[in-house]
Homo-oligomer: A and B are copies of this chain.
Amino acid sequence: MSIAADPNSCSPRAADAHSRNLACGRVYIGVRGVEIVCAMPAPQPIRRQYKDEVIQLLASRGVSVNDIAELVMLIQKSYLPNLTMDACRRSVRKVLAKRETQNAIFTGVALDMLAEKGLLPPPLVDMLRQDDSLYGIDEVMALAIVNVYGSIGLTNFGYLDKSKLGVVGRLNDPRAGQVNTFLDDLVSAVAAAAAARLAHHERDVAD
Protein backbone atom coordinates (compact mmCIF):
# COMPACT_ATOMS: atom_id res chain seq x y z
CA MET A 1 0.00 0.00 0.00
CA SER A 2 1.23 3.39 -0.82
CA ILE A 3 -0.07 6.72 0.42
CA ALA A 4 0.93 10.19 -0.56
CA ALA A 5 1.83 12.57 2.22
CA ASP A 6 2.74 16.19 2.33
CA PRO A 7 6.35 16.46 3.52
CA ASN A 8 5.27 18.97 6.14
CA SER A 9 2.84 16.46 7.61
CA CYS A 10 5.21 13.50 7.39
CA SER A 11 5.69 11.70 10.66
CA PRO A 12 8.82 12.77 12.57
CA ARG A 13 10.32 9.41 11.88
CA ALA A 14 9.89 9.74 8.15
CA ALA A 15 11.20 13.27 8.19
CA ASP A 16 14.14 12.07 10.21
CA ALA A 17 14.84 9.16 7.90
CA HIS A 18 14.72 11.51 5.02
CA SER A 19 16.98 14.13 6.42
CA ARG A 20 19.59 11.59 7.35
CA ASN A 21 19.54 9.68 4.12
CA LEU A 22 18.78 12.06 1.33
CA ALA A 23 19.65 15.67 0.80
CA CYS A 24 16.20 16.73 -0.28
CA GLY A 25 13.97 14.29 1.52
CA ARG A 26 11.23 14.02 -1.01
CA VAL A 27 11.50 10.30 -1.65
CA TYR A 28 9.75 7.09 -0.99
CA ILE A 29 10.23 6.23 2.64
CA GLY A 30 8.96 3.04 4.14
CA VAL A 31 7.74 3.24 7.72
CA ARG A 32 6.07 0.44 9.67
CA GLY A 33 5.30 -1.67 6.63
CA VAL A 34 3.58 1.19 4.88
CA GLU A 35 5.27 2.84 2.01
CA ILE A 36 4.71 6.53 2.35
CA VAL A 37 5.23 8.62 -0.71
CA CYS A 38 6.24 12.08 0.37
CA ALA A 39 4.54 14.27 -2.20
CA MET A 40 6.85 16.44 -4.25
CA PRO A 41 6.62 19.95 -2.85
CA ALA A 42 5.17 22.59 -5.11
CA PRO A 43 7.85 24.09 -7.34
CA GLN A 44 9.47 27.11 -5.75
CA PRO A 45 10.12 30.29 -7.72
CA ILE A 46 13.82 30.76 -8.48
CA ARG A 47 15.19 33.57 -6.39
CA ARG A 48 17.57 36.22 -7.60
CA GLN A 49 20.33 35.52 -5.16
CA TYR A 50 21.58 32.42 -3.33
CA LYS A 51 24.92 33.66 -1.99
CA ASP A 52 24.20 32.69 1.61
CA GLU A 53 23.00 29.23 0.58
CA VAL A 54 26.14 28.67 -1.49
CA ILE A 55 28.42 29.73 1.36
CA GLN A 56 26.54 27.38 3.71
CA LEU A 57 26.74 24.53 1.21
CA LEU A 58 30.50 24.99 0.82
CA ALA A 59 30.87 25.13 4.62
CA SER A 60 28.93 21.86 4.97
CA ARG A 61 31.52 20.30 2.64
CA GLY A 62 34.44 21.71 4.61
CA VAL A 63 35.31 24.84 2.64
CA SER A 64 35.13 28.37 4.06
CA VAL A 65 35.32 31.72 2.30
CA ASN A 66 38.59 32.19 4.14
CA ASP A 67 40.02 28.95 2.72
CA ILE A 68 39.37 30.22 -0.81
CA ALA A 69 40.67 33.69 0.04
CA GLU A 70 43.97 32.10 1.11
CA LEU A 71 44.33 30.61 -2.37
CA VAL A 72 43.69 34.03 -3.91
CA MET A 73 46.40 35.53 -1.69
CA LEU A 74 48.84 32.77 -2.68
CA ILE A 75 48.53 33.44 -6.40
CA GLN A 76 48.14 37.23 -6.35
CA LYS A 77 50.48 38.47 -3.62
CA SER A 78 53.50 38.64 -5.93
CA TYR A 79 51.55 40.83 -8.40
CA LEU A 80 49.74 42.99 -5.85
CA PRO A 81 52.13 43.44 -2.90
CA ASN A 82 49.62 45.47 -0.87
CA LEU A 83 46.89 42.87 -1.13
CA THR A 84 45.10 42.16 2.17
CA MET A 85 43.24 39.03 3.23
CA ASP A 86 40.23 41.28 3.63
CA ALA A 87 40.32 42.25 -0.05
CA CYS A 88 40.71 38.56 -1.00
CA ARG A 89 37.67 37.57 1.05
CA ARG A 90 35.68 40.42 -0.49
CA SER A 91 36.62 39.28 -3.97
CA VAL A 92 35.66 35.67 -3.21
CA ARG A 93 32.27 36.85 -1.95
CA LYS A 94 31.73 38.84 -5.16
CA VAL A 95 32.42 35.74 -7.26
CA LEU A 96 30.05 33.71 -5.07
CA ALA A 97 27.33 36.31 -5.67
CA LYS A 98 27.33 35.56 -9.42
CA ARG A 99 24.50 33.39 -10.70
CA GLU A 100 26.83 31.33 -12.94
CA THR A 101 29.02 30.49 -9.94
CA GLN A 102 26.06 29.53 -7.77
CA ASN A 103 24.54 27.27 -10.42
CA ALA A 104 27.85 25.47 -11.03
CA ILE A 105 28.39 24.93 -7.28
CA PHE A 106 24.82 23.72 -6.66
CA THR A 107 25.15 21.24 -9.53
CA GLY A 108 28.67 19.99 -8.88
CA VAL A 109 28.27 19.57 -5.12
CA ALA A 110 24.92 17.80 -5.62
CA LEU A 111 26.68 15.32 -7.92
CA ASP A 112 29.46 14.77 -5.37
CA MET A 113 26.91 14.12 -2.61
CA LEU A 114 24.75 11.82 -4.74
CA ALA A 115 27.86 9.83 -5.68
CA GLU A 116 28.74 9.56 -1.99
CA LYS A 117 25.31 8.06 -1.25
CA GLY A 118 25.39 5.79 -4.30
CA LEU A 119 22.37 7.58 -5.73
CA LEU A 120 23.86 7.98 -9.21
CA PRO A 121 23.58 5.26 -11.87
CA PRO A 122 26.63 3.33 -13.05
CA PRO A 123 29.10 4.02 -14.54
CA LEU A 124 28.75 7.65 -13.43
CA VAL A 125 28.80 6.73 -9.74
CA ASP A 126 32.07 4.87 -10.23
CA MET A 127 33.70 7.70 -12.19
CA LEU A 128 32.89 10.19 -9.45
CA ARG A 129 33.74 7.94 -6.50
CA GLN A 130 37.12 7.17 -8.04
CA ASP A 131 37.66 10.76 -9.24
CA ASP A 132 38.40 9.31 -12.69
CA SER A 133 41.08 11.44 -14.30
CA LEU A 134 39.42 11.03 -17.71
CA TYR A 135 35.99 12.20 -16.54
CA GLY A 136 36.45 15.85 -17.59
CA ILE A 137 32.98 17.19 -16.78
CA ASP A 138 34.28 18.59 -13.49
CA GLU A 139 36.78 20.77 -15.38
CA VAL A 140 34.08 21.88 -17.83
CA MET A 141 31.76 22.95 -15.03
CA ALA A 142 34.54 24.84 -13.28
CA LEU A 143 35.19 26.71 -16.53
CA ALA A 144 31.74 28.30 -16.22
CA ILE A 145 32.98 29.96 -13.03
CA VAL A 146 36.45 30.88 -14.31
CA ASN A 147 34.90 32.69 -17.29
CA VAL A 148 32.87 34.98 -15.03
CA TYR A 149 35.81 37.40 -14.94
CA GLY A 150 37.25 36.61 -18.33
CA SER A 151 39.70 34.10 -19.68
CA ILE A 152 42.69 35.46 -17.74
CA GLY A 153 41.66 33.17 -14.87
CA LEU A 154 42.31 30.02 -16.93
CA THR A 155 45.96 29.62 -16.05
CA ASN A 156 45.45 30.27 -12.35
CA PHE A 157 42.65 27.71 -12.33
CA GLY A 158 44.87 25.04 -13.84
CA TYR A 159 47.74 25.93 -11.57
CA LEU A 160 45.67 25.72 -8.36
CA ASP A 161 43.94 22.54 -9.42
CA LYS A 162 47.21 20.81 -10.23
CA SER A 163 49.42 22.18 -7.44
CA LYS A 164 46.84 21.20 -4.83
CA LEU A 165 47.73 24.11 -2.57
CA GLY A 166 45.83 24.81 0.63
CA VAL A 167 42.24 23.64 0.82
CA VAL A 168 42.43 22.01 -2.64
CA GLY A 169 45.06 19.60 -1.33
CA ARG A 170 42.90 18.82 1.71
CA LEU A 171 39.89 18.09 -0.52
CA ASN A 172 41.97 15.68 -2.58
CA ASP A 173 43.07 13.69 0.45
CA PRO A 174 41.18 10.38 0.27
CA ARG A 175 41.06 10.34 4.07
CA ALA A 176 38.51 13.14 3.77
CA GLY A 177 35.98 10.31 3.38
CA GLN A 178 34.01 12.50 1.01
CA VAL A 179 33.54 12.50 -2.74
CA ASN A 180 35.07 15.82 -3.85
CA THR A 181 35.42 15.18 -7.57
CA PHE A 182 33.63 18.41 -8.46
CA LEU A 183 34.35 20.40 -5.31
CA ASP A 184 38.12 20.70 -5.72
CA ASP A 185 37.73 22.06 -9.26
CA LEU A 186 34.93 24.42 -8.21
CA VAL A 187 37.01 25.82 -5.35
CA SER A 188 40.04 26.32 -7.62
CA ALA A 189 37.78 28.05 -10.13
CA VAL A 190 36.29 30.44 -7.55
CA ALA A 191 39.79 31.38 -6.36
CA ALA A 192 41.02 31.87 -9.95
CA ALA A 193 38.02 34.06 -10.80
CA ALA A 194 38.47 36.10 -7.60
CA ALA A 195 42.14 36.64 -8.50
CA ALA A 196 41.18 37.68 -12.05
CA ARG A 197 38.64 40.10 -10.60
CA LEU A 198 41.32 41.70 -8.41
CA ALA A 199 43.67 42.03 -11.40
CA HIS A 200 40.99 43.72 -13.52
CA HIS A 201 39.94 45.93 -10.62
CA GLU A 202 43.51 47.08 -9.99
CA ARG A 203 43.76 48.64 -13.44
CA ASP A 204 40.27 50.08 -13.26
CA VAL A 205 41.04 52.11 -10.16
CA ALA A 206 44.62 52.93 -11.23
CA ASP A 207 43.38 54.79 -14.28
Give chain A's interface residues, CB within 8 Å of chain B. Answer: 17, 21-24, 26-33, 35, 40-41, 43-50, 53, 79, 98-100, 103-104, 106-107, 110-111, 114, 117-127, 129-130, 132-137, 139-141, 143-144, 147-148, 150-152, 154-163, 199-200, 203-204, 206-207
User: What residue of chain B has the Cβ atom nearest to residue A38's Cβ?
Assistant: B118
Q: How many identical chains are in the complex?
A: 4
Q: Specify which chain B residues have a CB less than 8 angstroms from the CB of A151 in the assembled complex.
A: 100, 136-137, 139-140, 143-144, 147
Expressed in whole angstroms, the Cα–Cα distance for A79 and B132 within the complex equals: 13
**CB-based contact A30/B44 at 8 Å:** no
Q: Specify which chain B residues have a CB less than 8 angstroms from the CB of A123 in the assembled complex.
A: 44, 46-47, 50, 53, 106
Q: Specify which chain B residues have a CB less than 8 angstroms from the CB of A163 in the assembled complex.
A: 159
**CB-based contact B155/A154 at 8 Å:** no
Minimal beta-carbon separation of A57 from chain B (angstroms):
8
Q: Specify which chain B residues have a CB less than 8 angstroms from the CB of A148 in the assembled complex.
A: 150
